[in-house]
Chains A and B, each alone.
Chain A
Amino acid sequence: MIGSLDLATLQKLWWILASVVGSLFLFLTFVQGGQTLIWQLGRTEREKSLIINSIGRKWELTFTTLVLFGGALFAAFPKFYATSFGGAYWVWIAILFTFIVQAVSFEYRKKPNNLFGPTVYEAFLFINGAIGILLIGTAVGTFFTGANFVLDEYNFVKWTTPFRGLEAAQNIFNVSLGLFLVMNARVLGALYLLNNIDFTNMEDFKERTRNAVFTNFIAALPFLLIVLIGLLTMDGFGVNPNTGVVSIVPFKYLKNLVEMPIVLVILLAGLALVIFAVYSAKFLKRESGIWFAGLGTVLVGLAVFFTAGFNNTPFYPSRADLQSSLTIFNASSSHYTLTAMTYVALIIPVVLAYIAYVWKQMDSQKLRPEELEGPEAQENY
């Protein structure tokens, strides 16, 4: 069956798959959000330790999902990979850099003789959680506001600014999207901690965590508003399906949501779930909010990627040369490669199943402070 799919179907399928991986990453940024909460919520060494060990058991999943997002884009849309990574050089280098320092920080923070001392590793985690996510959001913003590149007839990329991608930070829409993702990650982080830690005899710590859910959500609202208003009012990029010519289309993204009502539904459902999660944590004192906010974040992510890539929209538009803009049709791998990759993708449900199983096994009992302080303590982060 897979062998008989036509190229356009495969291209759409892979945009959906990449969107799913990207959106799952956004959910898993509860790790990064938690990293930015260590100093704010952890008043004592014990509380800090609980936060770090709670999110520390998931950091590799988030990291791996980001790597897979990059890998899937490379395999399915190599022109995007080449254009964006080679072109918007400094944005990606800065993002990668924050993930390099993150990767050692959980493991090395508490180990004796670690060269920098625990505070520096905690700072690394904060930088990854704040700057890393801000820049990822800014980069995703350019899916709507465009980037500064020209492709020659060999599809080699030339970037038209010396800032190599950093110029995206001049755009308020891009930055607001980034800040929204940072705040959302903090909401997710606090919700995750609320659900994952056994707060027995630590009511004060629990209250602080619960309040963080709410305050960070409030802090996210202005940025969400800027993003939504921007998205619904801005001139977007459209491609003529018959000629392949790219042009500026007024209210393009509003039109996309109207013409693809399912995406609008996904977006609204996602936002509603996040709001419900915050409400249930703050006012109903429930601990399960992470699942609602997590699903909500995935849905919002999907709506963002679908709006960027479907309905004759170039997902990586060029401000410098409209006709260089990348669509899911002109940036993809060949029919053969997409077919082969689709066979490989059949294993994804198995992967998700064992992740879910292990997650359940590991988190069925909540994390207790005693686990971090007993004779086994040296094995913890």
Chain B
Amino acid sequence: MLEQIDLSTVNWARAQFALTAMYHWLFVPLTLGLTFLCAFFETIYVKTGKEEWKELTKFWMKLFGINFAIGVATGIILEFEFGTNWANYSWMVGDIFGAPLAIEGIVAFFLEATFFAVMFFGWNRVSKGFHLFSTWMVAIGSNLSALWILVANGWMQYPTGMAFNPDTARFEMKNFFDVVFSPYAISKFTHATTSGFALSSFFVIAVASYYLARRRHVLMAKRSIAVASVFGLVASLMLAFTGDEAAYIDAHYQPMKLAAMEGLWDGTTNAPVVAFGIVNGMKKPGDYQDPFVFEFKIPGLLSLLANRQPGSFVPGINDLVFGNKERNITGVTEMMEKGKLAVKYLAEYKEAQKAGDVAKASNALTEFNKYKQYLGYGHLRSPEEAVPPVSMTFYSFHIMAAVGSAMILVFLLYLFYTAKGTIERATWLYPIGIIFFILAFIAGEAGWVVAEVGRQPWAIQGLLPVSVARTDIAPVNVKLTFFMFLVTFTLLLIAEVRIMLTQIKIGPKEVN
């Protein structure tokens, strides 16, 4: 199964997934939030009947449409990339993973696709009420699609509701509701969508701030800011709350990821959070190097966040790799030994079955069942392989957390000056709003780096490493498609940004 692993294929496939997913995530958060903002704006229009609100809605919808198109373009590849670059993965977990993707298509994509046309071309073809309904359906549809894909992602982080079937050599679903309502599914969905809401609010605030700075479309800009700052504040508070929840469940189900996020090598009680620091990139499991070149710690905070219990023990990378008897932690080293036995007995079982040796097959299966939970670890070559890239995870996490916390304050400031009625004079705030729009992108991408790089080497946490999950294909193919997507998506991104900036410059239609 593992004899001829070609690492360069798997690395190009990983690079391609990172590339396509990160490009996709440039557009998705804006879709998720801007669609709700459009729905809010249009609701106000329908309630008040004021034409200015209609033009305001149409303006934001136009920008939404430009962004939506490229979101669709970058999205289709992700759906099929599981098959093209990760064929073994698709077979081994397709029985569980395929379902949410199909459900996403049935319940979410058609809502978006059907009502999108009404939203853009239906102003004079359907009633006001039905148009508003359609806008809401697009908002709900896009967020439902996020729900199902994040259920799928949540399952990769925390595989549940399934069992391994040695006859088919795959994992099979045993409980649909365990998959859908897993703590990871809920956490991923709430955290990712609220991050989209916050980013979209910054988009509206940034564009409106630009107008205020230029003294153009002042009324429209103020109204947009009023709605967006409320939405953004609520979203950013929820973002912080769901972020705390995400760290808590990481502590329980992906302790290695949490340890990497905080650069915690040796587990300890009263574990600190490193507020900021420079990671020692040379440090390896088991050595005695200092993990940080420089750090500023807040003692005890990590214990509180991870376990919600002051002073509690938080395991470090070394505890997880080498085990910690005192704390009852089984290390990767030990799990690998058992995993190798699982791999061996599975091969014996397959061989005996082929040869028609029933007794031998039954024996092999009994032995396999003893170790099957460690099957994934049997594919690792060294215990160190179980450690994700610490620096990248650490920095990404800290950038995300810092921007996420600061954005609450920025939304508060916008809301404060809007409520006071002096937002027009708070010119110093505009550049901050615009910068935070860009920072929100960086934070969102960094969040995905934490989630995905932080669980390496696993395609499915603890069960299937990426090296086994890949397609058996020569690296040159994946390399070629990597550059194909890089060039295409970059060109399309440039086109999108240019179109978007031009439309922003043109601005909304003024109603007299």
Taking beta carbons and an 8 Å cutoff, which residues of A are in contact with B?
53, 57-58, 60-61, 63-64, 67-68, 70-72, 74-76, 78-79, 81-87, 89-90, 92-93, 96-97, 99-101, 103-104, 106-108, 111-116, 153-159, 162, 164, 333-334, 336-337, 340-341, 344-345, 347-348, 351, 354-355, 358, 361-362, 364-365, 371, 376, 378-380
Contacts and interface: CB of A to CB of B under 8 A. Distances in A.
B502 A64 contact: no
B359 interface: no
Contacts of A99: 76
A60 B113 contact: yes
Give chain A's interface secondary structure class.
helix
B44 interface: no
A198 B94 CA distance: 47
Interface in B36-77: 58, 62, 65-66, 68-70, 72-74, 76-77
Given A76-B98, A115-B495, A68 B109 contact: yes
Given A87-B87, A347-B106, A67 B79 contact: yes
Interface stretch (B164-172, B181-189, B287-295): B164-172
Given A87-B87, A153-B354, A107 B65 contact: yes
B473 A86 contact: yes
Nearest to A355: B114
A93 B498 CA distance: 27
Interface in B82-141: 82-91, 94-99, 101-107, 109-110, 112-118, 120-126, 130, 134
A87 B502 CA distance: 43
Contacts of A82: 83, 87-91, 94
A250 to B, nearest CB: 31
A99 B488 CA distance: 12
Interface of B: 1, 58, 62, 65-66, 68-70, 72-74, 76-77, 79-80, 82-91, 94-99, 101-107, 109-110, 112-118, 120-126, 130, 134, 165, 168-170, 172-174, 176, 350, 354, 471-474, 477, 481, 484, 488, 491-492, 494-496, 498-499, 501-503, 506
Contacts of B168: 155
A363 to B, nearest CB: 9
A108 B497 CA distance: 11
B110 A351 contact: yes
Closest 10 CB pairs of A and B: A86-B87, A78-B94, A85-B83, A75-B98, A68-B105, A103-B73, A75-B102, A74-B98, A107-B69, A82-B90
Contacts of A61: 110, 113-114
Give chain B's interface secondary structure class.
helix
A57 B118 CA distance: 9
A361 B130 contact: yes
A106 B501 CA distance: 18
A354 B141 CA distance: 13
Contacts of B114: 61, 354-355, 358
A361 B119 CA distance: 13
A68 B123 CA distance: 28
12 contacts: A71-B104, A74-B90, A82-B83, A86-B88, A90-B477, A92-B80, A104-B70, A157-B472, A345-B106, A362-B122, A376-B124, A380-B121
Contacts of B83: 70, 74, 81-82, 84-86, 92
A334 B90 contact: no
Nearest to A334: B172
A104 B502 contact: no
B173 A157 contact: no
A104 B116 CA distance: 14
B368 to A, nearest CB: 14
A40 to B, nearest CB: 24
B102 A104 contact: no
A365 B95 CA distance: 45
B104 A81 contact: no
Task: Give the one of B65, B110, B115 with max A CB within 10 A.
Answer: B110
Contacts of A344: 99, 102-103, 106-107
A153 B103 CA distance: 30
B5 to A, nearest CB: 12
B94 A68 contact: no
A379 B471 contact: no
Contact of A115 (B62, B488, B491): B491
B87 A156 contact: yes
Given A57-B121, A361-B130, A78 B115 contact: no
A294 B104 CA distance: 26
Nearest to B115: A358
B72 A78 contact: no
Nearest to A152: B1
B117 A358 contact: yes
A334 B492 CA distance: 40
A168 to B, nearest CB: 16
Given A114-B499, A157-B472, A74 B176 contact: no
B70 A81 contact: no
A154 B1 contact: yes
A336 to B, nearest CB: 5
B172 A64 contact: no
B91 A78 contact: yes
A71 B66 CA distance: 26
Given A71-B104, A164-B477, A341-B102, A57 B80 contact: no
B157 to A, nearest CB: 20
A93 B20 CA distance: 13
B279 to A, nearest CB: 37
Contact of A103 (B69, B94, B350): B69
B117 A89 contact: no
B80 A85 contact: yes
B137 to A, nearest CB: 9
A58 B118 CA distance: 11
Nearest to B492: A104
Contacts of A376: 123-124
B197 to A, nearest CB: 23
A114 B169 contact: no
B95 A337 contact: yes
Contact of B173 (A111, A336, A365): A336
Contacts of A101: 73, 488
B84 A361 contact: no
B174 A336 contact: yes
Contacts of B80: 70, 85, 92, 96
Nearest to A363: B125
A82 B169 CA distance: 14
B495 A116 contact: yes
A164 B91 contact: no
A72 B105 contact: yes
A341 B99 contact: yes
B109 A67 contact: yes
